[in-house]
Amino acid sequence: MALATASVRACSVARTLEVVGEKWALLAIREVFLGARKFEEMVANTGAPRDTLAARLKTLVAHGILERRRYSERPPRDEYVLTDAGRDLYPVIISLMQWGDRHRPLDGGPPMLLEHSCGHRMHARLTCESCGGLVEYGTAKRIRA
Amino acid sequence: MALATASVRACSVARTLEVVGEKWALLAIREVFLGARKFEEMVANTGAPRDTLAARLKTLVAHGILERRRYSERPPRDEYVLTDAGRDLYPVIISLMQWGDRHRPLDGGPPMLLEHSCGHRMHARLTCESCGGLVEYGTAKRIRA
DNA sequence: GCGGTCAGTCTGGAATCCGGACTGACAATA
DNA sequence: TATTGTCAGTCCGGATTCCAGACTGACCGC
């Protein structure tokens, strides 16, 4: 009687989502990327309940995605800044943004345009570090697990 | 008395998260990318409550990310396959995976290795379509909104 | 008929989420 | 000094979701 009970896949996607997978977490991170580092700004820009946002910021700090930095002593004021690990979430945010731009467009075009440092309107894509070729569904195969 | 009340940012990230931002949605999509297209497989591999997973699959189908396809009439069996819009989420999944590989590593290395069609172990990165340069935090600036 | 597979649905308690009111520290204005 | 405003939360009670696990129902193979 072989018992092959629920061995959940060990997967980096799941481990990442444990950190940023909650409803307002990525939106808070987006705000920091966009320069809104203060609690009040994030509340206004995301529409998150203050309550929930405070909790998310706390766990993001605990997980080393954000850092809380005091930028004024009198009055005491803190802002949230990205750690290195937080900055590494940039591709996640950009990928989500591009999907939304393409598949959930707004009348009047994308709500936000980004310009890459090369001077062109930014269209990002995932490429292979070795060959430079496009990475999309079907261009990769599993070689372990 | 100017009332600048809570104008939530119109943002493609938020619109995308409305579709895939719930706890088990992206994990279900990951499963389909990995070839687990059947309900039972997804339950086993993700560990999601059957209940919740059924609900997520329903909304993903409703949102045009997945498609339910009958692959057997007798007994009646359906599987879930990616639509074009679903396949376009590949960069999101890969970005999440790479973040997890780097910042939440497992002893013994990444649980899954991918090989790009060029034959090398896949390390994907976000690059600019115009110049081919790396896209990371600080390489883009907002030119609208 | 009996057990097994597949794809869910149902249940009831636990955990979260929500909008909005409130607090407390301070600054600026009157 | 009193009033108003900003900022960063906390607190509240009700509504919504989530969860593990039991159950259903359609089918197949033996």
Q: How far is the CA of A38 from the C1' of C28 (A)?
A: 21
Distances in Å between the alpha carbon of B84 and those of A91, A102, B68?
Answer: 21, 11, 14
Residues of A numbered 30-69 whose beta carbons fall under 8 angstroms of chain B's beta carbons: which are they? 30, 33-34, 43-47
The contacts of residue B107 (CB under 8 Å, 6+ apart) are: none
Q: Which helix (H) or strand (E) holds B17?
A: helix B12-20
Q: Which helix (H) or strand (E) holds B116?
A: strand B113-116
Amino acid, res. B134? L
Query: Which pTM does this prediction carry?
Result: 0.95
Distance between CA A34 and CA A130 in Å, rounded? 31
> Would you call the peptide bond into B75 cis, given omega within 30 degrees of 0 as the criterion?
yes
Nearest to A15 among B44, B92, B104 (CB): B104
What average pLDDT is seen over chain A? 93
Nearest to B145 among A112, A116, A126 (CB): A112
The percent of residues above 90 in pLDDT, for chain A, comes to 88
pLDDT digit string (tens) for A67-83? 999 998 888 899 999 99
B77 touches strand C (CB under 7 A): yes
Q: Is the pLDDT of residue A145 over 90?
A: no
- Residues of chain B where predicted confidence (pLDDT) is lower than 50: 1-6
Could you tell me if A7 lies within 8 Å of chain B, comparing CB atoms?
yes
User: Which residue is listed with tokens 């896209």?
Assistant: B135
